[in-house]
Amino acid sequence: MECYETQMRTDPMALMSPPTMKTNPPNLLSEAAAPRDLVSIHDLSPAEILALFNLTSMLKQRPADFRGVLAGKQMVMFFEKPSLRTRLTFEAGMDSLGGSTFFVDQTASRLNARESLYDIAHNLERWIDLIVLRTFSHSVVEEMATYAGVPVINALSELEHPCQALADFFTLQEHFGDLSKIHFAYVGDGNNMAHSLLLAGAAVGAKVSIATPERYGLNPVIVTMAKAIADETKASLRILIDPRKAVAGADAVYTDAWASMGHEHEAEERAAIFAPFQVNATLMQLAKPHALFMHCLPAHRGCEVTDQVIDSLNSVVFDQAENRLHIQKAILVWLLGGGVGRFSARSSHAHA
């Protein structure tokens, strides 16, 4: 394993602390055993992720069976960053389940600019059933989850993007079945997306290879967390600096923007550093012939990926985008509608 040190991007003690447990909401089945919040992939056990995928399959195949399951439930979304997929899939998902959504645009100012998160949380918990946050600082999500007496979902922070990673591995399950048998490769920036993918890959028992430039590596605390999960699931994790080694023999190749939101001013500098990490036809040839190409979007065509790759028959970027809707509906049902174990598959319609 090739390892290297990278600057800490958050308080390691905060990351290593267990997720905050709260009083279960009404009708949440005991077998769900779920934390009340989804702040990190680490908030879900490996078994819970697979259960969530089963529920997602049911929601995707039989959406009519779930209409009205969250009737009367209300969700508020505070977004400090722009969004297409995250906002629309949460709003459409909540609406299709019978609930309602309120959107608060925080792109002009940070959520805690006018008053403390403590005060905001205690206001929201008296009006709303669930809070969704898309923030610059991961600590904002953690603090809101600590203070609010209702579930909080991380819809993206600078440290993690758990909803996207769950949709991605659900997409892989649709294509390959047993996730413990796949080799998943990520090349590019060691950003929030890479963190959540590493944790999710470890949780499902996959072989995961991640390659980043030396100065843009993964948060070492996230790596430590992933290794602890991998010890339980027998996943194989490789942290590399050579994209060719990461992609060799992979079943799926994933990349993300070289300069994430908040780092746009570094785009020119990063373009030169990340050039060897571009996913192009030459790099994809090192993967297995059936290898899927994956990207969380928006993609910067000609930078981290070429048109030839993202528009190829092996590209599943729009499958991933579609599955954001289905996985987030499952998360909403998990947190508000009775847990992942409430709905059983029908024998005539059950997902194989």
Q: Which of 134, 195, 270, 295 is catalytic?
A: 134
296 tagged catalytic: yes
350 domain-assigned: no
186 domain-assigned: yes
215 tagged catalytic: no
Q: In whole angstroms, give the CA distance from residue 105 to residue 89.
A: 16
164 tagged catalytic: yes
- Do 227 and 264 lie in one domain? The reply is yes
Q: Which of 36, 296, 303, 326 is catalytic?
A: 296
- Do 178 and 128 lie in one domain? The reply is no
Q: Which parts of the chain register pLDDT below 50?
A: 1-35, 340-341, 344-352
- Do 91 and 234 lie in one domain? The reply is no
- Do 150 and 274 lie in one domain? The reply is no
Q: Which of 256, 278, 295, 326 is catalytic?
A: 256
Secondary structure class of 178 (helix, strand, coil): coil
Q: Which of 161, 183, 195, 270 is catalytic?
A: 161
15 domain-assigned: no
- Do 215 and 298 lie in one domain? The reply is yes
What pLDDT is attached to residue 227? 98
Burial tier of 52 (Cβ tally within 10 Å: 0-12, 13-18, 19+):
buried
**Residue 97: which of 133, 65, 124 has the closest Cα?**
65
Say which CATH number the domain at 182 has. 3.40.50.1370
Q: In whole angstroms, give the CA distance from residue 332 to residue 67.
A: 13
Question: Which domain, by its residues, includes 81?
Answer: 21-160+323-336
- Do 54 and 200 lie in one domain? The reply is no
What pLDDT is attached to residue 186? 99
- Do 82 and 148 lie in one domain? The reply is yes
344 domain-assigned: no
Query: CB under 8 Å to 145, separation ≥6 — which residues?
Result: 19, 20, 36, 37, 39, 152
What pLDDT is attached to residue 74? 97
137 domain-assigned: yes
- Do 33 and 179 lie in one domain? The reply is no
**Residue 200: which of 10, 317, 45, 18 has the closest Cα?**
45
Q: Which of 164, 173, 320, 328 is catalytic?
A: 164
- Do 96 and 199 lie in one domain? The reply is no
Secondary structure tally for the chain: helices H, strands E: 13, 9
300 tagged catalytic: no
- Do 141 and 205 lie in one domain? The reply is no
Q: Which of 270, 324, 326, 328 is catalytic?
A: 324
Q: In whole angstroms, give the CA distance from residue 187 to residue 253.
A: 8
256 tagged catalytic: yes
- Do 55 and 97 lie in one domain? The reply is yes
Joined tokens for residue 40:
């990190």
Q: In whole angstroms, give the CA distance from residue 13 to residue 259.
A: 27
Q: In whole angstroms, give the CA distance from residue 75 to residue 73.
A: 7
Residue 116 per-residue DSSP state: -
345 domain-assigned: no
155 domain-assigned: yes
Q: What is the DSSP track for 16-80?
A: HSPPPP-PPPTT--GGG---S-BSSGGGS-HHHHHHHHHHHHHHHH-GGGGTTTTTT-EEEEEES
Distance in Å from the first CA to the final CA of the chain: 36
Residue that is written with structure tokens 């919040």 in the block: 37
- Determine the angle formed by the axes of helices 117-124 and 138-147, rounding to 10 degrees: 50
Joined tokens for residue 138:
């991961």
Please state the pTM of the whole predicted model. 0.86
- Do 62 and 107 lie in one domain? The reply is yes
7 domain-assigned: no
Report the number of distinct structural domains present in the chain. 2
163 tagged catalytic: no
